[in-house]
Amino acid sequence: MKKLLCLIGHPVKHSVSPSMHNKAFETLKMNYVYLSFDVYPGNLDDAVKGLKAIDVRGFNVTIPYKEEVIGYLDHVDLIARRVGAVNTVVNSSNSLIGYNTDVEGVETTLRLNSIKLYDEEIVVLGAGGAARAAVFTFLSHSPRRVTIINRTFEKAKEVAREFNPEICRPEPLTRKSIQESLKNAYLLVNATPVGMKPGEDASLIGKDLLNPDLTVFDMIYNPLKTKLLSYAEEIGAKTVNGVDMLVGQGAASFKLWTGVNPPFKLMRKTVLEELKTSGQFEGES
């Protein structure tokens, strides 16, 4: 009998995670199958209890449940607790253990794109779960400053206070704060859904605020080239999309569930093929 893995979230209809994992399982001839389940608001408790009752090997959690799911788990590892969000759960002898592999997704992105953060200034747009995973990861690289710009200023303040108030500086989402923060920045990160399909014509930052010395990392992978990345490319800045992060977090989850080294290149190729062929949708990991 195949062991079950799955994704829970809302919506999950267009997720590329099932293709990414199932291709890896088929190729390595592993006895697992990965499905996705749309869990409607109010049903998370029942969904997690059900998954435990049927003894799944594990599951991924995506928007909007990465924080809420913590309340239904038996243990949460230190990094996930620090980040305040769980995207991967392992069922170990009927005990549900939560992890955050988005942190490894960000780390993978830095490594594959030769992004070195020591003594550099970083600007992060957003203060949600993905931004928190990014700030957590960036701080381990000893940057000079991490500016967190968020629409709800209070949340930016909270992240800065919680992670490292000496290095992190919260800012409200205004043209002036963006302009000031980007002056000496090396890395700009979009950790908001602004620019994601079907809203691909939007960007929180206009072309006039970017400069060629910047590296721009947009966590969005659908579309592969967001408006923000198009602007960055046009002015000659380095651009990085969300694919390496998506595959990095997926590969780390794969290893946690199976103990087997993930076929990273195959998973990345599968994701790119899927995104290029399926085209027009709004998707989550």
Residue of the chain from 117, 130, 148, 188 that contacts ligand NAP (CB under 6 A): 130
Residue of the chain from 11, 18, 193, 263 that contacts ligand NAP (CB under 6 A): 193
Closest CA to 7 of 36, 44, 27, 33: 36
Instruction: Provide the 3-class DSSP secondary structure of residue 143.
Output: coil
Q: Please name the residue that has the structure tokens 């790119």.
A: 272
Report the C-alpha gap between 57 and 91 in whole angstroms.
Answer: 5
Residue of the chain from 221, 231, 254, 257 that contacts ligand NAP (CB under 6 A): 221
Q: By CB under 6 A, which span of 18-26, 158-166, 215-223, 271-279 interacts with ligand NAP?
A: 215-223
Report the C-alpha gap between 181 and 214 in whole angstroms.
Answer: 12
Instruction: Provide the 3-class DSSP secondary structure of residue 115.
Output: coil
Q: Is 116 among the residues known to form the active site?
A: no
| 223 is an interface residue for ligand NAP by CB under 6 A | no
> CB 244 → ligand NAP: shortest distance, Å?
8
| 152 is an interface residue for ligand NAP by CB under 6 A | yes
Distances (CA, A) of 10 to 66, 211, 272: 11, 37, 23
| 219 is an interface residue for ligand NAP by CB under 6 A | yes
Q: Is 281 exposed, middle or buried (0-12, 13-18, 19+ CB in 10 A)?
A: middle
**Are the C-beta atoms of residues 14 and 67 closer than 8 Å to each other?**
no
| 150 is an interface residue for ligand NAP by CB under 6 A | yes
| 194 is an interface residue for ligand NAP by CB under 6 A | yes
Nearer of residues 18 and 193 to ligand NAP, judged by Cβ = 193
Q: Counting every residue, how long is the chain?
A: 285
Give me the catalytic one of 23, 66, 157, 227. 66
| 69 is an interface residue for ligand NAP by CB under 6 A | no
Chain residues binding ligand NAP by CB under 6 A are 63, 102, 105, 126-131, 150-152, 155, 173, 191-194, 196, 204, 219-221, 242, 245-246, 249, 284-285
Active site residues: 66
